[in-house]
Amino acid sequence: MSLLPRMRWLLAIALLAMGFLAGCEPQQAAQASNGAPAAASDAAFTILAGSELKDLEAPIVAAAKAAGVDVKLSYAGTLDIVERINAGEHFDAILPPNGAYPALALQAKPLARDKLFYSRIALGVKSAKAAQLGWNKRAPGWAEIAKAASTGQLRYGMTNATSSNTGMSALFAVASALAGKTEDLGAQDVDGKTLKAFLSGQKLTAGSSGWLAEAYIKDPSAIDAMVNYEAVILRANEKLPAADQLTLIYPRDGMISADYPLMLLDAGKREAYTQLVATLKAVPFQRDALSAAFLRPANPEVAAASALPTAAVAELGFPNRLEVIDAVLGTYQSQWRKPATSIFVLDLSGSMAGKRLASMREALKLLSGADANTASARYSAFQSRERVVLIPFATEVSAPVWVRFEGDRIDSARTELRMQADAMTANGGTAIYSALAAAEELARQEQLREPDRFVSIVLLTDGENNSGLKLHEFRERYAKGLPARIFPILFGEANASEMQQIAQLSGGREFDGRKLQLGQVFKEIRGYQ
What's the pLDDT tens digit per position in 66-89?
A: 999 999 999 988 888 998 999 999
- What would the pLDDT profile of 441-451 be if each residue is shown by its tens digit? 999 999 999 99
Report d(CA 240, CA 252) in Å as an integer: 27
Q: Any idea what DSSP says for residue 298?
A: S
Report d(CA 202, CA 158) in Å as an integer: 7
Architecture of domain 3-115+261-295: 3-Layer(aba) Sandwich (3.40)
Residue 520: predicted pLDDT? 87
Instruction: For residue 140, give the nearest of 177, 175, 108 by alpha carbon.
Output: 177
504: amino acid identity, one letter:
Q
Residues 398-413: what's their mean pLDDT? 93
3-state SS, residue 60 = helix
End-to-end C-alpha distance for the chain, whole angstroms = 27
- Domain extent listing, the chain: 3-115+261-295, 339-528
Residues 492-502: what's their mean pLDDT? 94
Report d(CA 439, CA 478) in Å as an integer: 13
Listed range (360-364, 405-409, 508-512) with the worst mean pLDDT: 405-409
> Which residue did the predictor score with more confidence, 106 or 21?
106
Handedness of CA 410, 411, 415, 421 (dihedral sign): positive
Question: CB-based burial of residue 4 (10 Å sphere; 0-12 exposed, 13-18 middle, 19+ buried)?
Answer: exposed
Contact 47, 74 (CB under 8 A): yes
- What would the pLDDT profile of 186-234 be if each residue is shown by its tens digit? 889 999 999 999 999 999 999 999 999 999 999 999 999 999 999 999 9
Contact 354, 411 (CB under 8 A): no
> What's this model's pTM, rounded to 2 decimal places?
0.87
Report d(CA 363, CA 357) in Å as an integer: 10
Residue 71: predicted pLDDT? 97
Q: Tell me which fold the domain 339-528 belongs to.
A: Rossmann fold (3.40.50)
Residue 42: predicted pLDDT? 58
- What would the pLDDT profile of 117-170 be if each residue is shown by its tens digit? 999 999 999 999 999 999 999 999 999 999 999 999 999 999 999 989 999 999
3-state SS, residue 426 = coil
* Phi, psi values for residue 178, rounded to 5°: -65, -30
Residue 404: predicted pLDDT? 96
* Whether the predicted pLDDT of 37 surpasses 70: no
Residues 263-282: what's their mean pLDDT? 97
| SS3 annotation, 429-456 | CCCHHHHHHHHHHHHHHHHHHCCCCEEE
